[in-house]
């Protein structure tokens, strides 16, 4: 803690980015799963997911009363430095590695 009583935290990825990364690694997840995993309120997640949906970065499927979210890796980043770069270039390798690790974990657990 700093001398003025405030923590000085910084994050490499914004809240929007954290949610996008989470959804990319957990396709088909729900708002509640995202909120529980990222320690944010469902209300906060709804707002940020809405922004990402409007930007075309997420696809939504409905199953019964639940919505499930998946990252659209063909969408383009909206950032001055990464403008027009597809999400797949940034997230693709991460998603692939995570999926392989999950498969390996499932094989070991069997």
Sorted by where each starts, the structural domains of the chain and their CATH numbers stand as 15-109 (1.10.10.10)
Q: How far apart are CA 64 and CA 9, in angstroms?
A: 40
Q: How far apart are CA 87 and CA 70, in angstroms?
A: 12
Residue 39 has pLDDT above 80, yes or no: yes
Q: For residue range 52-110, what is the model confidence (pLDDT) as tens digits?
A: 999 999 999 998 988 999 999 999 988 788 778 899 998 888 888 888 888 877 665 54
- Could you give phi then psi for residue 83, rounded to 5 degrees? -55, 130
Q: How far apart are CA 105 and CA 90, in angstroms?
A: 24
> Under a CB-based contact definition with an 8 Å cutoff, are residues 99 and 91 in contact?
no
Q: How far apart are CA 105 and CA 94, in angstroms?
A: 16
> Under a CB-based contact definition with an 8 Å cutoff, are residues 73 and 91 in contact?
yes
For the entire predicted model, the pTM comes to 0.78
> Under a CB-based contact definition with an 8 Å cutoff, are residues 76 and 55 in contact?
no
Over range 28-46, report the average pLDDT: 95
Q: In the beta sheet, which residues pair with residue 71?
A: 58
């Amino acid at each position: 803690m700093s001398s003025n009583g405030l923590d000085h935290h910084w994050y490499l990825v914004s809240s929007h980015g954290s949610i996008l990364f989470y959804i990319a690694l957990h396709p088909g997840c729900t708002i509640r799963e995202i909120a529980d995993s990222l320690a944010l309120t469902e209300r906060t997640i709804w707002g940020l997911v809405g922004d990402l949906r409007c930007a075309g970065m997420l696809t939504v499927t409905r199953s019964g009363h639940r919505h499930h979210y998946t990252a659209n890796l063909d969408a383009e980043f909206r950032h001055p430095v990464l403008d027009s770069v597809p999400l797949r270039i940034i997230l693709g390798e991460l998603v692939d590695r995570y999926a392989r690790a999950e498969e390996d974990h499932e094989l070991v657990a069997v």
